[in-house]
Structure 1
Amino acid sequence: MIGLLPVGRRVDRDGRWLTFYFSLPGAQLEGFDAAALDRLRERVAVLWPEALPLLASIDSPQQLNRARYRDVQLRRPAQGRLVFIGDAAHAMSPQLGQGVNMALLDAAMLADVLAEDTTPAAALRVYGQRRRAHLAVYQRLSRWLTPFFQSERDGLARLRDLGFGPLARMPLARSQMLKILTGTKMSWWR
């Protein structure tokens, strides 16, 4: 998986900034060296030649930040007066692109429960309860879809490529896919 993510502007530099990201199996992360950087450039040149100039300023693997992700879901997203939202509370594989959506929905729900006529402790308990079912849908989808998007199982990638296009043209499947991608799928059956 490779991509570009708009990250805004810097006060000390002109222009808009993008983050280039790519994924590797965890076992290959520490061994990412100069030769691996060259192979990455070659792969980007084939898959996405328009992005290649953005890598020109990267001279060594040490300029790249390394990150690992894991599926995480806290049993209690609030502990005392501390509330965890977004990836801090429920990190998942990035292929659904739901990190920001889930964080914003967390913040909106937190604001809603705190605005209700209740104590902060009660509001935080309600917050966790109200977010649980929605987040469970996305956690399961993420785990189920990860092998189709991020694995070395080429057969699953071919199935994904063959199946997702036609599915997206079927009215019921299309509406469900749009709900998933917009972060609005609240349960499995509703």
Structure 2
Amino acid sequence: MKLPPEFYRRPDPVQIARDLLGKHVFSRVEGQLTGGRIIETEAYSHHGDNSLAMHLKRFSAASRALQEPGGRAYLYKVYQRHTLFNICTNEAGKTDTVLIRAIEPLVGLEVMQARRGASIKPNRLTAGPGMLTQALALTPALTGTDLQGDLLWIEDQGETIPESQIVTGPRIGLEYAGPEAASLPWNHRCCR
């Protein structure tokens, strides 16, 4: 079952990031279904989050999707190379997001392997934000995609991750935004 729009439109991106652990993300690009279980997320808030404010200044043209109600994809390139997949959350005009940092690949493994390259080890197919977007064939052209459609969506398959299996820590790679933004414990990971 696809997550309903209300799931994404809640006002707390940190809780949404935590709640996405164990959900399954899928893409159907050029007729090829790929996907997996979300195992790492990171929250970003419009309120008091210097990293998101700095991001909006740098990517203002691409950030129009952030003004929409939660439940849309927000994809952009970093370092002119890697695409990152964020989910817009909260109500319209409140630019909260959740970055999907890693998934456990489960569906379309051969397709993902072909997209990532034959030399990539299976345990590295989707082990980071740039790797998972390449494996799922997600590009900035998909920014604004409604997660209720058949191109990109997230399902709840009934798994609840116990708190004992969740590691929470600071977000990754935010030193540029200052010590406060870099130290917020808004990164969530789970293990089996």
Instruction: Tell me if both proteins adopt one fold, taking TM over 0.5 as the criterion.
Output: no
- Structure with greater strand percent: 2
Q: Which has the higher contact order (CA 8 A, sep 6+)?
A: 2
Greater Rg over alpha carbons, structure: 1
